[in-house]
Amino acid sequence: MKVIEKYNDSLHNPYWKYQLGPEAYEVKDTPQRVEEIKKVLRTDGRFEFITAQTFPERLIAKLHPYHDYIFNTSQSLKDDKEEFYPDLFPGEGAHLKKKADSPLWGGIWCTDAVTPIKKKTYEVARASAETALTGAKLLREGKEQAVYALCRPSGHHAGPRVFGGYCYFNNAATAAEYLLSSGKVAIVDIDYHHGNGTQEFFDEIKSVFTSSIHGNPEFEYPYFWGYSEEKGKGQAIGTNHNEPLPAGTQLKAYSQALERILHQIQSFSPSYLIISAGFDTHETDPIGSFKLKTDDYTQIGRQFKSLGLPTLICQEGGYNLNVIGECVKNFLSGFLDQS
C-alpha cells in the first residue's frame, strides 16, 4: 500500500490552546504523532512511502473561503514562535466587510481558540490537503485500489464557513470534490470526534454520502453537530448518517454501528470510499472515552475492506504517542486483509 507524505510538519507545532475556562492547555496534536506512525509503518515492507504532488492552489481555495485569511495571517507573523488567536467572534447581525482576510478578522473564520495560526501553518495545511489530493488522483487514474494519506494537520472539523478543532483545510472534502467528476463518493469518519466540517460541506449534495461514528456530542466536541437526527438537507436528505456512541464503547457496539453505515453505503453504490481515520477512539487516548484496544483496529479495517471500493484513507486524530503507530498499522493491515 502506498503511504503518501509531503512535509516536515514540525513547522506547525502550536504550544497552547484555550479551552473550558481561562487556563491554557498544551496542544495534543504534536508533530511527533506523524513520526510515530512513520516509525512503525517503515518496519513493514507492505507499505511504500511516496511524496505528495503539488496541486493548483485553486483546488483548495475554492472550497475554503478562509483560505486567504490563513495565508495572510501566516505571512504576517514575524517568526515561528508567534501564535495568533482570534479574540472576537462576531455573531449574527455583525457588520462584516466584504473582504475580511486580515488577521484582525479571525473570529469570522475560526470557531474556537484551540486552532492558532503560526508562520508555517498555511504551508503545512496546504501540504496536508495535497497529500489527500495525491491519493485521490492515484485512485481516479486507476493506479491504486487503496492509499493511505498521512495528513497533518487533520481536516474534518474545517467546513465551508469556518475552520477549527486543530483543522485548517478539510483534506477529505478536498479529495472528495476532486473525485466527484468520476463518480459518487462515500465518506466515513471514524475519529472520536464528529466530522462536522465534512458533513456541512456535503449536507445538500446528493452525490456524496457522509457518515460518522463518534462520541456523543451531548458531552463531546464539537457539541453542536453529530446527532442522529441529522440526515442531510434538501435534495440530499438521507445521504448523511451519524452514530453517536456513549462513553465506554467497546468493539462489539462499535462494529455494529459501523455495519449499519456500511449497509447504507452499499445501497448508495458509490464509486469511491474515503475514510477519515482517527485513532483517538483507543482506550488510552487522552481526549477520548471509548475503550477500543490496539488489536481491535484490525477487525475494523477488515470491515471496510468488505466494501471492495477504491479507498482513500486520510489520517485524522489519535493522540497517545505510545500506541498510535500500532493502531494505524493494524487498521491498514486489516484493510489489506492481512494480520
Q: What is the rounded average pLDDT of the residues 196-217?
A: 98
Question: Sorting pLDDT into bands at 50, 70 and 90, what band is 112?
Answer: confident
DSSP string, 56-67: -THHHHTT-TTH
Q: What is the rounded average pLDDT of the residues 261-271?
A: 98
Q: Which amino acid is present at 307?
A: L
DSSP 8-state code for residue 290:
-
How does pLDDT run across 29-75, given as a tens digit for each residue? 888 999 999 999 999 999 999 999 999 999 999 999 999 999 999 99
Question: Sorting pLDDT into bands at 50, 70 and 90, what band is 186?
Answer: very high
Comparing 1-10, 166-175, 226-235, 322-331, which segment has the lowest mean pLDDT? 1-10
Contacts of 239 (CB under 8 A, 6+ apart): 202, 205, 206, 208, 209, 210, 231, 232, 268
Q: 64, 157, 193, 194: which is the annotated catalytic residue?
A: 157
Q: Provide the pLDDT for residue 88.
A: 84
Question: Sorting pLDDT into bands at 50, 70 and 90, what band is 339?
Answer: very low
Check if 64 is active-site.
no
2-55+128-335, CATH topology level: Arginase; Chain A (3.40.800)
